[in-house]
Structure 1
Amino acid sequence: MSGTELKPNFIYKLVPSSESAISISEELPIRLPVSSIDQQSGFIHLSTSVQLLNTLKRFFAQDSSVFILRLPFDRLEEEKLIRWEDPKAEVCGPRGGEGMFPHLYNDLKLGKEEVDLVQVLTPVEGSWHKAIENAKEDGWLVY
């Protein structure tokens, strides 16, 4: 993140609902399983609200729903657990115009201490764009 960009209030983790042990009706555990890409990278890949749509299109195009985990940014930043880094083109291809992505460096720990809200997102009429717009209107997907 450069000094000219606004600091986000929240950052987000997308998790395929088909591969998840997450339940929105139960309290999150202390530590959720992390994806193989996170394990290989050694950190948890996150997105800002602005970056979510393209992340959904690139990695979750075939999914019928995903969990969106919302993480309050300030505490993670205060503890120096977030690094803003350029996405590696060999993993996901060029992500031009999206800027740096937040990555969580905390020994791959993601659970109830990091996450303040979990929502299920499903495409609306086959469109992630409409789903994102609805989430913004509902007030839980915010920058």
Structure 2
Amino acid sequence: MTRPPTAAQRRVLDAADPVTGRLRGTETQLAALVKRGLAFRHPRPPHDHFLTPAGHRLREEASTPEEPAQAPAVRDSGVFAARIGGEEDAEPGPARAREVHSAWQGLLELRRMTGAGGATDRPCGWERAHLVQAAALALEAAG
């Protein structure tokens, strides 16, 4: 097990952008987070630093209060699913905000790739075939 991050590194982790995980800090702090596997340096300019999944987990663990140990009855298949009603885990959090943002960006990219002239203002074939999920994603992405 690795050592916990220092107070300065913890402040950098806590100040990360909640959606993208973009970090701001000194080069020394960022390099130490990269060394611990909590961040990575983007290969393209401007070479910003972003949280890894382990960094996101550490950040979320510190921000959630301790609760009694209860096994959640949520199945985690690793695949994004829009909330269309009836879900038991309706608590929004930073991880869900990242998932929704990523899914919405993916849908816009799908529109761009399949639309005439790269337009993103018209629904794509997937949206027409999955109306309920597409509408739920659009509503959740809108906030």
Shorter-normalised TM-score: what interval?
Answer: under 0.3
Q: Scaled by the length of structure 1, what TM-score is found?
A: 0.23
Greater radius of gyration (CA): 2
Instruction: Answer 1 or 2: higher relative contact order, Cα 8 Å, separation at least 6.
Output: 1
Decide which structure has greater helix share: 2
